[in-house]
A and B are shown apart, each in its own frame.
Chain A
């Protein structure tokens, strides 16, 4: 029986996960979400620039559909916070897959908050050559992005007229699923142009960002779905990240329970094997 449990067909485990996650989604329990200091740093930085004339945040969408559940809620929350504080938002994408996601985020929030395209926000679209693009933006923003995604001239739109270069933005937040934060933004934008950079990453890649948090190159980090839920709490909305905390908690609990059961079975089996080998030795000696 124990051997059977130790070598259980993995499909049973899949079933337990499925049932647990589905139950948590169908019967959600309210869970307290405490924003961490890293998430608060991003939030507070944006709060600190409200009221500043022409305060503008650059949001870089560097992720694809696979990371959408973790990073899209953060993007929506940040845009919402900016719009509520009358902070302009300029979006761009270093990943081509992110263009549709960025547009969806901007469209939904700008409609809800009553913000005008070209005046309160714009989306620049995707351009190749991440490093070269950042270097160009660092020297001449309008040269790097002559027109936005809809073909409007960036030097003429109220939202980007005053932006001379990357350093003109009051805050840059990059939502990254890959290596764009350390490989591009920190190495080039922060190191060379001394911009203030915040990050949002998937939970798996967030440990890679801790050295930059400690050195101050990243001033804040929103990590994974949990971080997105914390940000939604700060912005006082109940979005998909907050709703996702229940199934995520259920999944983690099921994994921990399965680890405990697996180890219990393992130790019981080991004890039995030891007993059998001891009694076998005794028989041999006698």
Chain B
């Protein structure tokens, strides 16, 4: 009798939890399709090998329940998990999965690529719903806490009957210090890092490292000289990214080199900025460049200006200045969006020599068609090393090339292996 009462209470709690939180499930959703009468009356069969374990490589706020469904389980049932902090309850709704829910082999992030039980189903439980104290209140979602032992009740619920595992399972979620599923990422990252740093060290000892010509960068000197002869300004136009982006850092590095040459030539340099932090860095870079070449008087603070932080306001303002001042040289450096062609075409109209460098894949064709020289993708990052010709910077370029060679090898071998139905290399490099 006591057992029947307990069962009825738990079933009622599950039903309430389902009704209140039918959308708040971690995986899968409950099915509301009508169940045939023949199935409705019978309790659905319980799965076997039901286990609960801590989710690996997480912040200790989730556990995973796995089970092997019974072959005769109707397709319209739901598997539900109740959570309690005490073996005697009360148990609260922790989550549910449909009969055709996700399989262990479909989630290598939790179970790895070769799990022991690939055809088991699973449900990740990271919280449970506490019903409201009053009928007008809202249910409260409570997250699992690390190092707290929880008791899980597992049930199979049909439309009018359910079956439940006799004893609760206990599990304690733990916080982890490393994401094991990202280990491949870490190893590759460390490998590339070591390669790049090694070549930097190598370059210190062997300073005469070959680097192929990049026409756009060779033309910088010529472009600056042209501006000096014509007595017209040089425009350096930053892209739209903030200082946190590598492209902004790379363009500021180029700005430093350009500012040095411009100060030596005594030409006017105007730097257009879209971001206040990039502005602050650009001002400092240009000022220091002028001081470095012994021309502190060449630095004009008003020439390194914040134009606008809105894309088309920036484009309109810079285009207007180009049309009025007709610069001899325009350098477009950084990540650009739709305004790229607005700059490049206007620069073409005023007859400026244009050098563009961007890692924005979509704008490269526009720059190629309208600018005199275009640096594509990583050439923007290489520009600083190319212009300075410092061995340690050149060494990093060689390291990048080695990295690229390794990637090409992995791509080629991996494609061949995949065609042959061998997946280990794909699994090795797959991001999880």
* A-to-B contact residues, CB < 8 Å: 10, 52-54, 56, 64, 66, 97, 139-140, 155-156, 161-165, 167-168, 170, 177-178, 194, 202, 204-205, 207-208
Contact = CB atoms under 8 A, between A and B. Distances in A.
A64 B311 CA distance: 9
Given A66-B311, A178-B337, A204-B338, A163 B362 contact: no
A284 B312 CA distance: 57
Contacts of A207: 361-362
Contacts of B337: 177-178, 204-205
A167 B26 contact: yes
Interface stretch (B16-24, B114-122, B231-239): B16-24
Nearest to A194: B27
B23 A208 contact: no
B361 A208 contact: yes
Q: Which of B21, B23, B26, B141 has the most CB of A within 10 A?
A: B23
B388 to A, nearest CB: 30
Interface size class of B (residues with CB under 8 A): 20 to 34
A208 B22 contact: no
B128 to A, nearest CB: 11
B24 A156 contact: no
Nearest to B22: A53
A157 to B, nearest CB: 11
A53 B32 contact: yes
A145 B361 CA distance: 35
Given A155-B138, A164-B24, A167-B26, A202 B338 contact: yes
B315 to A, nearest CB: 9
B205 interface: no
Interface of B: 21-24, 26-27, 29, 32, 127, 138, 141, 143, 310-312, 337-338, 349, 361-362
A54 B32 CA distance: 13
Contacts, number: 47
Contact of B24 (A53, A165, A204): A165
Contacts of B141: 140, 164
A201 B311 CA distance: 17
Contacts of A170: 23
Interface of B is mostly: loop
B346 to A, nearest CB: 11
Q: Which of B32, B138, B349 has the most CB of A within 10 A?
A: B138
Closest 4 CB pairs of A and B: A164-B24, A168-B23, A164-B141, A204-B362
B330 to A, nearest CB: 17
A52 to B, nearest CB: 8
B338 A64 contact: no
Contacts of B27: 194
29 contacts: A52-B29, A52-B32, A53-B22, A53-B32, A54-B22, A54-B23, A56-B23, A64-B310, A64-B311, A66-B311, A66-B312, A66-B338, A97-B310, A155-B138, A156-B138, A161-B138, A162-B21, A162-B22, A162-B23, A164-B127, A164-B141, A165-B24, A167-B26, A170-B23, A177-B337, A178-B337, A194-B27, A208-B361, A208-B362
Given A66-B311, A155-B138, A205 B22 contact: no
A140 B143 CA distance: 10
Nearest to B32: A53
Nearest to A193: B26
Contacts of A163: 23
A66 B310 CA distance: 10
A212 B427 CA distance: 18
Contacts of B32: 52-53
Nearest to A204: B362
Q: Which of A97, A165, A170 has the most CB of B within 10 A?
A: A165
Contacts of B311: 64, 66
Contacts of A140: 141
A156 to B, nearest CB: 7
A273 to B, nearest CB: 23
A22 to B, nearest CB: 22
A53 B20 CA distance: 11
A46 to B, nearest CB: 16
A66 B22 CA distance: 40
Contacts of B312: 66
Contacts of B24: 162, 164-165, 168
Nearest to B361: A208
A209 B138 CA distance: 39
B322 to A, nearest CB: 15
Contacts of A165: 24
Contacts of A177: 337
Nearest to B124: A194
A155 to B, nearest CB: 6
Given A163-B23, A168-B24, A205 B362 contact: yes
A23 to B, nearest CB: 24
A202 B32 CA distance: 38
A66 B21 CA distance: 40
Contacts of A53: 22, 32
A161 B32 CA distance: 20
Contacts of A10: 349
A139 B143 CA distance: 9
A207 B231 CA distance: 42
A66 to B, nearest CB: 5
A231 B337 CA distance: 25
Contacts of A202: 338
